[in-house]
Amino acid sequence: MSTPIDFEILDKEYKKNAQSNDMSSLYYDGIFYDLFESNAVGSIKHSDDMQFWLNIAREYGNSILELGSGTGRIAGFLAEAGFDITGLEISESMLSIAKTKYSKIRWIHADACDFDLNQKFPLIIFPYNGMLHIHSDKLKYCFSSVKNHIESDGKFVIDIANPSLSLLLKISQSQGERLAAIFEDPKGTGIVVVSQEVDYDAANQILTNKRIYRFVGSGREVCDIFKRRIYFPQEIETLLRWSGFEIEKKYGDYDLSLFTSDAPQQLIVCKLSL
């Protein structure tokens, strides 16, 4: 029998540094991130948003800054479609995988809340829930960094989940550990079974993912916690407005359907307000 995992201890460790996630978490490990994403059980497939970003790039600019570029999924796709893209990412591990996959792209190791590239872009994007990693107190620094890097008529486009009642209900009803992904250990020890528990703290709007990676061959278990901040529709729009952005369009899904209460995503196109 393996020793039960004390998530309370992990949680206390997290709270010591409550404004940011622990970069040593396997979530921020580029190899494990890719393995998890491509072998996740029951989640949406990665490619769903690609056409959306291609349309945005075609409409708004051929020089693009992607915040939270991860292992290069979207930057690589847009570069192959002919766009000049710069990927900015906080995790060195994610960046090193991105560099291996797409060596010609310009990759920047920086925090989306504190960067200075001495350049302006017609289009800055923050895809695939990346902004949820930025908890409220730091978001204003992210928005001011974006403002310093956007052309006067440029666009800032974000993609974050819509915490609809149906999503929150689904989370609150899915108690306990569930199978989240299965893949081969890159070190060749056999399969890795990842299970996950999700908690939602409504008072602080924090979604906590607790993952256990079980390395079946060696019996090793690694426990991870990472937390994301949920932004409600009117809240994010107000924060954007108060930070000097004007919302031009808001879609609810990658097929460009309009934003409604039950939409899965909040896809917000904004520009600098005059």
Task: Catalog residues that contact ligand SAM under the rule CB under 6 A.
Answer: 28, 67-70, 73-74, 88-91, 94, 111-113, 127-130, 133-134
DSSP element (H, E) containing 139? helix 136-149
| 208/220 with CB nearer ligand SAM | 208
Q: Alpha-carbon distance 237 to 246, whole Å?
A: 9
Q: Residues 122, 155: contact at Cβ < 8 Å?
A: yes
Please report how close the Cβ of residue 137 comes to ligand SAM at its closest, in angstroms.
12
Nearest distance in Å: CB 218, ligand SAM: 27
The closest of 262, 251, 265 to 56, measured between CA atoms, is: 251
> Tokens 């893209």 belong to which residue?
85
CB of 213 to ligand SAM, least distance (A): 18
Q: Is 177 left (phi over 0), alpha (psi -120 to 50) or beta?
A: beta
For residues 63 and 82, the answer to whether their CB atoms sit within 8 Å is no
Among 38, 52, 36, 47, CA closest to 158: 52
Kindly write down the DSSP assignment for every residue of 21-73, as one continuous string.
Answer: --TTSGGG-HHHHHHHHHTBSSS--GGGGHHHHHHHHHHH-SEEEEES-TTSH
CA distance linking residue 250 with residue 269, whole number of Å: 6
